[in-house]
Amino acid sequence: MMKFIRTHLVWKVFLSYVLVVLVGAMILITAASLSVPAAFERHMDSMNAIMTNASATGNNQQMQSELFSQYTTAVYEAVTYAALAALIAAILASFFISRQVVTPMLRMMSLSHRIAQGEYEERLSLPDGQPADQIDELGQLALSFNQMADKLEKTETMRRQLIGDVTHELRTPLTAVKGYLEGLMDGVLPGDPETYQQIHSEIDRLQRLVNDLQELSRVEAGAIQLQLAPVSPASLIERIQSTLGRQFEDKNIQFQTDLEKNLPDILVDKDRIIQVLTNLAGNALQYTPSGGKVSMQVRREKSEILFSVKDTGIGISAEQLPFIFNRFYRTDKSRNRASGGSGIGLTIAKALVQAHHGKIWAASDGEGKGSTFSFLIPLPK
């Protein structure tokens, strides 16, 4: 019962009002019991005088009306004092109770103003050590408020980091293009096809980066509209084979597929899942040296379909594995930047899999020992 009251603001406020009324009533009764005899005493003399006067004149009616008037004056006086005392007590009690409700709100208000001005550090203090289910709605509101502040602070940090990352990513190809052009203008570099080809490839990289960024901002904002339709896992693998098979051959990498029989259809946006698979297979192609092997496996795991891409490539160290899906993360920055990777592909893949309510992860036994990227897509219920 106490817990119920403690956790429900409505009951707290209701009981507070009942308490105010009770305090008022008690003060009224106490004050009346004190003031009535005193008032009566004070008017006793005049009453006595009226009665003596009445017995002398024999005018009973006049005595009664005079006595009544004295009596009502005494009662009014007593009730007025008692009511005043009760009123003051009720006002004081209401004031303290209102303050209890309003103070945290005022703090929330001033904190929200500060957050609006970009100061994210401060948090509201919560009832000490009380579990979340033991605090009332105001406490819950403070809790949500703090969570909101956490989220805003994180978003702000991410925004700053993103701007920093993007600036850094753009600066490199821009500096290179500027360098080539200055070389051409000064006559240090020859105006031959090779130089123009290098400029072209830098600009190409810039363009890819901008496209990736646009896609990233779309997926991170959760603004991707999935066109869900039943798709057979085999058709997805076939598509990858037809688009990338040639490149695996050219690099002399063995490309294998291993598909469990009678797999049910999955309800997905086909193009988006192909995008994920292309990214994983493309990475496997890029990070596996000639003579290596890449295999793509699809099988059923209870109520999900597991896709995995396994390669015998350069592998990923245990320290780097947790960061592999972070945007702009590359295990070997200079090498991969030169090879054209922006470090955004896996971030997009993760967002796309999560948009399908799936899960994606990477595993590797370490550098030089190959990697396996896997993701799960839940089967339609």
Write out the residues near ligand ADP by the rule CB under 6 A: 279, 283-284, 287, 311, 313-314, 316, 324, 329-331, 336, 341-347, 371
Residues 6 or more apart whose CB falls under 8 angstroms from that of 219 comprise 348, 351, 352, 355
Q: Which is nearer to ligand ADP, 31 or 351 (CB)?
A: 351
Q: Which is nearer to ligand ADP, 40 or 329 (CB)?
A: 329
- CB-hemisphere CA count at 13 Å for 119? 8
Q: Which is nearer to ligand ADP, 136 or 212 (CB)?
A: 212
Q: Which is nearer to ligand ADP, 7 or 342 (CB)?
A: 342
Q: Which is nearer to ligand ADP, 324 or 360 (CB)?
A: 324
Q: How far is the CB of 285 from ligand ADP (least distance, A)?
A: 9
Residues 6 or more apart whose CB falls under 8 angstroms from that of 298 comprise 233, 234, 236, 237, 257, 258, 259, 260, 263, 305, 306, 307, 308
Q: Name the DSSP letter for residue 226.
A: -
Q: Which is nearer to ligand ADP, 27 or 324 (CB)?
A: 324
Residues 6 or more apart whose CB falls under 8 angstroms from that of 6 comprise 12, 134, 135, 136
Q: How far is the CB of 360 from ligand ADP (least distance, A)?
A: 11
Read off the tokens for 3. 């817990």
Q: How far is the CB of 253 from ligand ADP (least distance, A)?
A: 12
Q: Which is nearer to ligand ADP, 63 or 324 (CB)?
A: 324
Q: State the Rg of the chain over Cα.
A: 41
Q: How far is the CB of 167 from ligand ADP (least distance, A)?
A: 18
Q: How far is the CB of 242 from ligand ADP (least distance, A)?
A: 21
Residue 44, sorted as left (phi over 0), alpha (psi -120 to 50) or beta, turns out to be alpha
CB 265 within 8 A of CB 232: yes
Give the Cβ contact number of residue 48 at 10 Å.
10
Read off the tokens for 214. 């646009």
Q: How far is the CB of 136 from ligand ADP (least distance, A)?
A: 46
The beta-carbon contacts of 168-172 under 8 Å, at least 24 apart in sequence, are: 168/328, 169/209, 169/328, 169/342, 170/206, 170/209, 172/337
Q: Which is nearer to ligand ADP, 114 or 251 (CB)?
A: 251
Q: How far is the CB of 196 from ligand ADP (least distance, A)?
A: 25
For CA atoms 129, 132, 136, 137, the dihedral sign is positive
Q: Which is nearer to ligand ADP, 110 or 252 (CB)?
A: 252
Q: Residue 113: is it exposed, middle or buried by C-beta count within 10 angstroms (0-12/13-18/19+)?
A: exposed
Question: Where do we find the tokens 């978003």?
Answer: 155
Q: How far is the CB of 157 from ligand ADP (least distance, A)?
A: 21
Q: How far is the CB of 178 from ligand ADP (least distance, A)?
A: 24
The residue with its CB nearest to ligand ADP is 341
Q: How far apart are CA 327 and CA 193, in angstroms?
A: 34
